[in-house]
């Protein structure tokens, strides 16, 4: 790939903002530029600095007056649930049994899985998401289709074949041994190929026997550098059933702890109804509570206690949880996260929200040296955001004076329409602009 320069208004976070006025937490350059070469950001600076460094005649793509950010990161999403979104149910377990466990059975079929892998990555890119951590279905065909399409597009994607051996239809269950063998197959085929990373993925305690969680533990000991992803404490009835299935556990978190599944690379989707003891255990393990705001509101699951989790030093991330979630957009997700904190009388500044969806999620995944940043040396996964793309946004934009106000406008009124371009490993990759 030949080198090029992207010109625009650069925003990249350096650390979690201590508050809304913490300008030291980010780098913002009104007339900035990125030098892109070999899929990486070779240099970041002002436009004139970068032009001084660059070869004569280099291509310059001018994205002014739009913002240039690192691509969004979605650390909890379900690949086989594109056709589950917007399914009408009273709460989690009804939603899973009535729609989700029916739909996911279709991903045993190679052609179906391949078709949806293309649709899935188109949708992520359309919304400016360049990395995700995804649950596939129980079938290896789904993981193969997921990674095949991700590698073709040179995307940095985390994915896992779901392990589930009870409390679901027969066509959607494996066994402890098969889940172990199949996960190992997926790891050997895909982990480290291109930019693909495999996650050990026991769906949640309800759909795994103790014997299967032992297998997940064996995998995590054999492959200690892999992420582990699962669900934790999303819904009251789910917690009650979990405690019936694991009566020896102190609480829901302890189920996973007993099988050695809590570590610094463990992503715990939802993590809503946690006791102080559970938060302390998660903080001590360095695991991540992944907030899924649109899903939590849609399924009526509960309100994420960000303030208490922060006070307990639990690492946090923010995600869409499609298809329990209702939008692929991290902008829509940040808007709902803000509203949930409003209901809890906790302020969440847009500066912090945009850190969260970029560098914050990269830190949660342990990938902050490569993604979630515009720093020189990082992978060139980049988005271009237009904060005046709709007539209503353009009118509101006229009165915007600060960066914070512009970000707040983007998260409050914005969606996929704001994403003008998306670069994957330096290549322009918006599915509608090709
Ligand atoms: N818990 C177990 N599986 C799922 C799922 O697919 N979606 C959500 N939101 N929660 C779950
Ligand atoms: Zn989920």
Question: Residue 301 forms beta bridges with which residues?
Answer: none
Across 20-27, average pLDDT? 95
> What is the Cβ-side half-sphere exposure of residue 1, based on CA atoms within 13 angstroms?
17
Residue nearest to atom 3 of ligand 1 (CA): 203
Residue nearest to atom 8 of ligand 1 (CA): 324
The tens digit of pLDDT for each residue in 137-163 reads: 999 999 999 999 999 999 999 999 999
Mean pLDDT computed over every residue of the chain: 98
The tens digit of pLDDT for each residue in 170-197 reads: 999 999 999 999 999 999 999 999 999 9
What letter would DSSP give residue 367? -
Sign of the dihedral through C-alpha 363, 265, 126, 192? positive
pLDDT score recorded for residue 383? 99
Mutate-to-test residue for ligand 1 from 77, 81, 83, 96, highest number of ligand atoms within 8 A of CB: 96
Ligand 1 atom closest to residue 234's alpha carbon, by position in its atom list: 10
Q: How far is the CA of 368 from the centre of ligand 1 (A)?
A: 27
Euclidean distance between CA atoms 31 and 53, whole angstroms:
16
What letter would DSSP give residue 249? S
- The 3-state DSSP class for residue 191 equals coil
Q: Are 5 and 58 in contact (CB under 8 A)?
A: yes
Sign of the dihedral through C-alpha 381, 359, 351, 11? negative
Q: Which residues line ligand 1 (CB under 6 A)?
A: 78, 92, 96, 100, 203-204, 231, 234, 295, 321, 324
| Residue 258's pLDDT band (cuts 50, 70, 90) | very high
Residue 82 has pLDDT above 80, yes or no: yes
pLDDT score recorded for residue 128? 99
Residue 77 has pLDDT above 80, yes or no: yes
| Residue 368's pLDDT band (cuts 50, 70, 90) | very high
Tell me how far apart the 2 most distant CA atoms of the chain are, in Å. 69
Which strand (E) or helix (H) includes residue 167? none
For the CA of 84, the nearest ligand: 1
pTM to 2 decimal places = 0.98
The tens digit of pLDDT for each residue in 390-408 reads: 999 999 999 999 999 999 9
Residue 350 has pLDDT above 80, yes or no: yes
| Residue 434's pLDDT band (cuts 50, 70, 90) | confident
pLDDT score recorded for residue 1? 72
Q: Strands 59-70 and 4-13, how do they pair?
A: parallel
pLDDT score recorded for residue 113? 98
| Residue 215's pLDDT band (cuts 50, 70, 90) | very high
Q: Give which of 115, 16, 40, 22 is closest to 361, Cα–Cα.
A: 16
Percent of the chain predicted with pLDDT > 70 = 100
For the CA of 269, the nearest ligand: 2
Mutate-to-test residue for ligand 1 from 81, 101, 234, highest number of ligand atoms within 8 A of CB: 234
- The 3-state DSSP class for residue 328 equals coil
Euclidean distance between CA atoms 331 and 39, whole angstroms:
25
Reported in sequence order, the residue ranges of 79-195 that DSSP labels E, i.e. its strands, are 129-135, 157-160, 162-163
- Alpha-carbon distances of 227 from 133, 231, 291, rounded to whole Å: 9, 14, 17
């Amino acid at each position: 790939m030949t080198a090029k320069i992207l010109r625009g208004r650069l925003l990249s976070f350096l650390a979690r903002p201590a508050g809304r006025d913490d300008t030291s937490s980010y780098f913002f350059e009104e007339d900035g530029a990125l030098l892109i070469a070999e899929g990486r950001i070779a240099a970041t600076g002002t436009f004139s600095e970068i032009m001084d460094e660059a070869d004569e005649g280099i291509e310059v793509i001018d994205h002014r007056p739009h913002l240039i950010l690192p691509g969004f990161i979605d650390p909890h999403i379900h690949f086989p649930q594109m056709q589950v979104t917007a399914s009408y149910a009273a709460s989690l377990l009804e939603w899973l049994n009535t729609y989700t466990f029916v739909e996911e059975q279709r991903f045993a079929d190679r052609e179906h899985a391949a078709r949806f892998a293309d649709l899935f990555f188109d949708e992520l890119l359309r919304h400016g998401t360049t990395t995700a951590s995804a649950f596939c279905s129980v079938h290896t065909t789904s993981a193969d289709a997921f990674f095949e399409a991700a590698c073709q597009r040179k995307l940095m994607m985390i994915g896992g074949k779901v392990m589930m051996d009870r409390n679901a239809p027969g066509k959607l269950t494996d066994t402890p041994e098969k889940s172990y063998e199949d996960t190992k197959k997926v790891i050997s085929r895909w982990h480290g190929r291109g930019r693909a990373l495999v996650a050990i993925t026991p769906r949640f305690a309800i759909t795994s026997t103790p014997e299967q969680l032992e297998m997940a533990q064996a995998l995590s000991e054999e492959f200690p550098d892999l992420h582990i992803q699962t669900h934790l404490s999303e819904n009251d009835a789910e917690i009650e059933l979990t405690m019936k299935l694991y009566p020896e556990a102190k609480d829901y978190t302890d189920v996973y702890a007993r099988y050695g599944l809590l570590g610094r690379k463990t992503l715990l989707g939802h993590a809503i109804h946690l006791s102080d003891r559970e938060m302390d255990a998660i903080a001590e393990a360095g695991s991540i509570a992944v907030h899924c705001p649109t899903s939590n509101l849609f399924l009526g699951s509960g309100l994420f206690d960000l303030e208490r989790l922060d006070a307990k030093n639990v690492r946090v991330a923010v995600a869409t949880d499609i298809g329990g979630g209702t939008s692929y957009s991290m902008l829509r997700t940040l808007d709902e996260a803000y509203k949930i904190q409003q209901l809890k009388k906790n302020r969440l500044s847009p500066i912090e929200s945009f850190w969260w969806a970029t560098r914050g999620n990269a830190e949660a995944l342990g990938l902050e040296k490569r993604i979630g940043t515009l720093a020189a040396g990082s992978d060139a996964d980049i988005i271009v955001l237009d904060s005046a793309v709709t007539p209503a946004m353009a009118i509101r934009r006229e009165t915007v004076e600060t960066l914070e106000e512009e970000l707040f406008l983007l998260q409050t009124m914005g969606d996929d329409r704001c994403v003008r371009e998306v670069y994957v490993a330096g290549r322009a990759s918006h599915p509608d602009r090709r």
